[in-house]
Amino acid sequence: MLVVKYVNQPKPGKKLGNLKMETGEMIFFDPAKFAFTVGVGYDLGLGTFGDGARIVQKVLKSHGPQGVVVPPAPGEPIAPTGSGDNIAPWWMPYCSNLCAHAIQAGLIKTPNDLNQWALKAGQVAVAVKAEVGT
């Protein structure tokens, strides 16, 4: 697990930013694919450039402050299960309540964090309903 100390966005005209880890190591990343938070630890899949510099290819798992596990990046979006275009899916109140409590507890700090939590909460609700069969 590597803990992010600084996140440096790409300079004008450049595609890659870099992360400075608590260990002092610098690792490149593509901000179009990944978002990182200072103080959070990540298990990363890394690749290397010809000069030996390392680049993030995949985020395997992220760990919040004091080892709190943060939901992984979402997979496929969940299709709405409501009826009609303007009706929220049945799991939306659960998702909203869970995210509100996570914000209050300080676990959600950025819009990207909120997106990950909301999508994962919806995925869990659908999976539990499918398993329980209600």
80 and 49 both lie in a single domain: no
Helical H runs in 24-110? 92-104
Query: How much is the pTM?
Result: 0.48
Residues spanned by the domain of 47: 2-67
Q: What is the spatial distance between Cα 113 and Cα 120, in angstroms, rounded to a whole number?
A: 11
Domain boundary among 21, 39, 67: 67
Blockwise average pLDDT, block size 10, the chain, 134 residues = 89 92 91 86 88 90 65 60 64 88 90 90 84 68
12 and 54 both lie in a single domain: yes
Among candidate residues 38, 58, 32, the one with its CA nearest the CA of residue 47: 58
Domain boundary among 67, 82, 107: 67
Euclidean distance between the first and the last CA atom of the chain, given in angstroms as a whole number: 39
Q: 6: domain CATH number?
A: 2.40.50
107 and 125 both lie in a single domain: yes
Q: What is the spatial distance between Cα 26 and Cα 2, in angstroms, rounded to a whole number?
A: 11
Domain boundary among 45, 67, 89: 67
